[in-house]
Amino acid sequence: MSLWARRGRALAILCALCVKSRTSLAAPDDLPFGVYPSIDEVQDNPRPVQSLGTEIQDLTGRVQDTLKGFAERRNWTCFGGSCLVQAFPLLYTKPDSGFFGGVRANISKPRPNEDLPSFSADAQIIRSDTAQWLTFFAVDIPRIEALPTTPRLRMRALYSRTTETRYFGIGPSSAEFVKHSDEEVRYGLQEYGFQAALIVPVWKIATQKISIFGSFSTLQHKPAPFHPVSKLFDDRPLGIQGGYSSRAGMGLFLDSRDREILSRHGWMVEASGEVAGNPLGGFRFQRLSLSDRRYFSHGAFTLANRFTLDSVLGAPPFWELAGVGGLEPIRNVAGSPLLRGYRAGRFHERTKVINSSEFRWQLSRRRLLGQVTDVALVPLGANLGRLGAQNALSLSTGVSALFNRNFMLAVFLARSVDGTTFTLDFDKTF
């Protein structure tokens, strides 16, 4: 999302508003991709005036009805057993970008008395009236019983076509982003790709597990001109004409967490290396990634901390500099749980050192909208990073809800020098 088409990251909690005050924007046939009419050309329709209290009450009722309809637990038969289907609507609007609508859905086959299902598939489909797309499909099989050592398989395919990507530059010049308008740093983008990882357990004693993994990914990138002139085309970084970047990697991780999602005890350390180049890709580079996650709990309170180190060597295209690698790669650290409070595309740097912390208050398991739900309040989260020659700091607060042990929904309000962001996440990686 990342995003590996990630995350339907706009204000989906406002899904019931339906944006009655906007007319739709369509991409004219005679304009190149990425060039759309200015918001000044859109005429707003008059809207009845209501008191704030009435609007909030009306919105609350509509949101609740929508959530109940889409989050309702449905059991289907698949793979010889009962499967659980869950979904969440994604409806929102963005200035100069049009109206977006879609859904985030998950289908899984629960395993009795275990947190991880025997099979899980996630999908997201979002389209705007300006012909933008944010889609992906992912499959996770935690244990393949038919193979020795019961390895784990993860696969993800994505497609995106958007004008919401931004490029502020690389190195010291990107620190001058405040001098450029949003129109100058935004650019049209089309991407599609595939990523897969096979995790093989090699050793386990008590709660400690050691596994090795191999990974492969390929990504096709097509930047397009954006009106008036994107800063991307002024700087002309490597990869401005697009192309393929394909990489293969290997890694090792040690895991003693009590559970994989919303962990409360234990730790996890992961180290990996990736190599990119011919014959599958047009760029030669290497990536080294390290992450260390620690969880300390007392009663209902948990301090979760993730330290991330990522370094890219060689001649990578600019789009590979925005994320971090590893078993669960993040396409764009800005705006992700690693670095909340920043707009996507804020950082394109070769080296990243980021420490992310959350203070969580774990509520007792309960039923929410008829679903078995784990709720964690996050009164305070902090992200501190050194990305290239720049420092990054953001503070956040929010809440995470885990439905039926597998479907995560998190709402966060974050603040950084870049501004204030309000986001909806579906990530399970912190």
Q: Is 45 contained in some domain?
A: no
Is pLDDT above 70 for 387? yes
- Burial of residue 30 (number of CB atoms within 10 Å: 0-12, 13-18, 19+): exposed
Q: What is the pLDDT of residues 63-106, one digit of tens each?
A: 566 555 544 555 677 777 788 889 999 999 988 889 999 999 99
Q: Is 34 contained in some domain?
A: no
Two structure tokens written together for 58: 């009306």
Q: Is 401 contained in some domain?
A: yes
Model confidence at 371, pLDDT cuts 50, 70, 90, reads confident
Backbone φ, ψ for residue 71 (5° rounding): -95, 0
Q: Is 185 contained in some domain?
A: yes
Q: What is the mean pLDDT of residues 165-175?
A: 85
Q: Lowest-confidence range among 92-96, 249-253, 254-258, 271-275?
A: 92-96
- Burial of residue 65 (number of CB atoms within 10 Å: 0-12, 13-18, 19+): exposed
Question: Going along 334-389, which residue ranges are E strands?
Answer: 351-362, 366-368, 371-387
User: Cα–Cα distances in Å, from 13 out to 128, 233, 306, 372?
Assistant: 17, 35, 27, 20
Q: What is the pLDDT of residues 265-323, one digit of tens each?
A: 999 999 999 999 988 889 999 999 999 999 999 999 999 999 999 999 999 999 999 99
Q: Is 42 contained in some domain?
A: no
Q: Which pLDDT belongs to residue 51?
A: 53
What is the sign of the dihedral through the CA atoms of 293, 328, 392 and 7?
negative
Q: Which pLDDT belongs to residue 28?
A: 35
User: Cα–Cα distances in Å, from 46 out to 14, 17, 55, 160, 307?
Assistant: 20, 15, 16, 34, 50
Q: Which pLDDT belongs to residue 293?
A: 97
DSSP, collapsed to helix, strand or coil, labels residue 48 as coil
Q: What is the pLDDT of residues 324-364, one digit of tens each?
A: 999 999 999 998 999 999 988 899 999 999 999 999 999 99
Q: Is 41 contained in some domain?
A: no
Helices (H), 99-194: 182-185
Model confidence at 224, pLDDT cuts 50, 70, 90, reads confident
Alpha-carbon span 26 to 267, nearest angstrom: 49
CATH of the domain at 355: 2.40.160.50
For residue 183, what are the domain limits?
12-28+52-425
Mean pLDDT, the chain, integer: 83
Residues 322, 328, 330: CA angle, nearest 5 degrees = 20
Q: What is the mean pLDDT of residues 179-192?
A: 86
Is pLDDT above 70 for 9? no
The residue among 395, 412, 390 whose CA lies nearest residue 168 is 390
Q: Is 145 contained in some domain?
A: yes
Compute and round to an integer the Cα radius of gyration of the chain: 22
Alpha-carbon span 360 to 85, nearest angstrom: 28
Q: Is 164 contained in some domain?
A: yes
Report the domain count for the chain.
Answer: 1
Is pLDDT above 90 for 136? yes
Alpha-carbon span 93 to 99, nearest angstrom: 4
Q: Judge contact between 337 and 376, C-beta under 8 A.
A: no
Q: What is the mean pLDDT of residues 399-408?
A: 91
Q: Which pLDDT belongs to residue 24?
A: 33
Model confidence at 177, pLDDT cuts 50, 70, 90, reads low
| DSSP code, position 148 | T
Q: Judge contact between 331 and 2, C-beta under 8 A.
A: yes
